Structure 1
Amino acid sequence: MAEQLYWHDIEDTLGNWSGLGVEVEPGATDKPPLYLRTGANARIRLMHHDTPLFWATLARDYGGVWLVRNPLADGAECRLLAPIDSPTVEQHAALAPEQRIKAWSRYFVSRLSESARHFLTPGYWLAQGLLPESPSTARGLDNWRFNSRDDALTHLPNWRLYGEDFLDNLQPQTLEWIDWWHGGGKLIGLHRVDPEAGRLKWWRKKAREGSLPPVLLWYVGGLASYVVIDGHYRLQAALAENLAPSFIVLSATRVRDFAPSLEHQQRVMDSLRKRGDSVSRNPALSTENLNRVLIQAFDDRPHYHSATQAWASHETEAQWCDEVRQCLSGQGLADEVEAVIARRG
């Protein structure tokens, strides 16, 4: 039986949509089809059912993460959602631009919840838009910049992504170094994209028409990176057409209540009283600015913090090391094995 979930729109103080909050009630105890398995000494696997899609481990200096793809898993696509049909694409394309991310967020969350073993584990989740900045989107992949809605008044995670951090899905590398000191996290695909596939050609047409659906991402805290869980071909279509896509980021989240400081509130009120009629003499003290100061001082809405869920591994660390050694050696990368296993950046 699938878990019950409830969603609600999260808006800022001006009524602008900032994200979709999703509460998933405890239900079946089975693992989802896609999940993280973690072990001793910072050893990580991303599992699709019983098959590792990749292995990962943090460098000892926390400067980044080694990512080792499993080439044996490349033939089996990790499909969590049914393909998006043409009527659904056209229905969303007819919406005003500011409504599309909101509508697509509801679409993806609804579809993810339909399976008896769905991806959204019990707890609280957020779905947020990650949209291209303008005008950098027109200058090629290395100049692409993407941001979530930057709104301090909703206390949501603030996501960033750069085109230079997209990993190649046409010719994915077995071994990747995710450098946290220079560039931050990466955009990680889970399978190879066929450049001759008919659906890629269809999505390229939709990209040119301006109706390309967002690419669905999962933020994985242990990697400080985004994993594509739906939309590999949509992403590739956007790259082929040099048209920056939009994204929706799913993140497992902890919600923490927040109580404003009474002393701070009193200091703010005393300061505003002393200013008296200075609003008319100082343009910086407009009514809008005063309202923002008061809202921030008395805002008691909860804070949201990303917290990726993982399952403890029963395998020994030696087994993880053997799997990585066998994978890298089989791909002609035996010289890199020791750096990965020793967690050297």
Structure 2
Amino acid sequence: MQRSDVTRDDGTWVGLSLDVQDRRRPGLCIFSAGPRLLVSQLSRPLLLAVVDDQLQGVDSWRTDEYRSFVPPLRANMGRALAGSPERWAHRFVQHLIDAPDSPLHEGRWLLSCESVLRRWHHVDVSHAEYWSSMLVDGHPDGYIDWFVHSGSWEVLPLRPMPDADDSRVKAYRKRARDGTLPPVLLWWVSGLDCHLILDGHARLAAAIAESVESPLL
């Protein structure tokens, strides 16, 4: 596997490119049959989805089987890597490489801090209002609406979002306030036309509760 940093002409880091070889089948993968899709992790079904007949969105149903392949991120690590998406990207890529249940497979991957989600974040919309419109609501069933933002670009949690008073969220809220919150790791899935949250459900909930921008990769 080869890594290479992606930069603008002025040298500003914008992402990490990863060329993957000899990894034909990932542990976290997607199966499709016509309009039906299945997201599975090491043979455990995580998400069942059906594209509706009018191609306006996707009906989805989630299980409670998803387990993040990223180990718990300690507070001292958050402080050490705060404000450095480049260093976080290299750390997350290593977890993607090492874990047998990550989505990594042969091909070229890009881990970027230039999130397409930000194009929808208008200055006259609060952070909480923005994420309430971007997160796919409902558990276990939900609907990915492809016409919400002229093409979905929504975010689908792979497990229920924790409440603001959840113990993990409370711990992350302090880190959100002091600027040391680790990024949320998203995976763009074209068949669903949305992002899946791979790691950081509690971190995103903390950022929403504190009305601060969520760092994303």
> Aligned-residue CA RMSD in angstroms?
2.3
* Structure 1 residue aligned with 2:72: 83
Name stretches of at least 5 consecutive residues in structure 2 with no aligned partner.
none
The offset of 1:132, in angstroms, is 5.1
- Paired residue for 1:11, among 7, 11, 15? 7
Where do 1:35-184 residues align within 5 Å? 35-39=29-33, 41-69=34-62, 73-74=63-64, 76-93=65-82, 97=83, 100-116=84-100, 118-129=102-113, 130=115, 136=123, 139-142=126-129, 144=130, 164-168=133-137, 172-183=138-149, 184=152
- Please report the TM-score for the alignment, with normalisation by the length of structure 1: 0.56
* Structure 2 residue aligned with 1:191: 159
Name stretches of at least 5 consecutive residues in structure 1 with no aligned partner.
145-161, 249-345
Q: Does 1:26 align with 2:22?
A: yes
Is the Cα contact below 8 Å between 1:20 and 1:127 reproduced in 2? Answer: yes
User: Sequence identity of aligned pairs in percent?
Assistant: 27
Q: Separation in 1 of the partners of 2:99 and 2:127?
A: 38
Q: Note the alpha carbon deviations across 1:281-302, whole angstroms, 9 max, x for none.
A: xxxxxxxxxxxxxxxxxxxxxx
Q: Note the alpha carbon deviations across 1:64-106, whole angstroms, 9 max, x for none.
A: 211122xxx32x441211111122111112xxx4xx1122111
Q: Which runs of 4+ in 1 moved over 4 A?
A: 131-135
Is the Cα contact below 8 Å between 1:66 and 1:178 reproduced in 2? Answer: yes
Q: Separation in 1 of the partners of 2:56 and 2:167?
A: 40
Q: Separation in 1 of the partners of 2:3 and 2:124?
A: 32
Greater Rg by CA: 1
Q: Note the alpha carbon deviations across 1:188-244, whole angstroms, 9 max, x for none.
A: 111124435432211111001111111000000001100000001101111111112
Whichever structure has more helix as a proportion of its residues is: 1
Q: Note the alpha carbon deviations across 1:240-276, whole angstroms, 9 max, x for none.
A: 111120211xxxxxxxxxxxxxxxxxxxxxxxxxxxx
Q: Note the alpha carbon deviations across 1:158-178, whole angstroms, 9 max, x for none.
A: xxxx6512134xxx3333222
- Size of the alignment, in residue pairs? 211
Is the Cα contact below 8 Å between 1:132 and 1:244 reproduced in 2? Answer: no
SS in 2 for 1:219: strand
Q: Separation in 2 of the partners of 1:163 and 1:136?
A: 15
The offset of 1:51, in angstroms, is 2.1
Amino acid at match of 1:42: P
Q: Separation in 2 of the partners of 1:247 and 1:87?
A: 19
Is the Cα contact below 8 Å between 1:80 and 1:119 reproduced in 2? Answer: no
Q: Note the alpha carbon deviations across 1:116-137, whole angstroms, 9 max, x for none.
A: 5543112110001128578838
Amino acid at match of 1:61: Q
- Please report the TM-score for the alignment, with normalisation by the length of structure 2: 0.86
SS in 2 for 1:113: helix
Q: Separation in 2 of the partners of 1:199 and 1:177?
A: 27
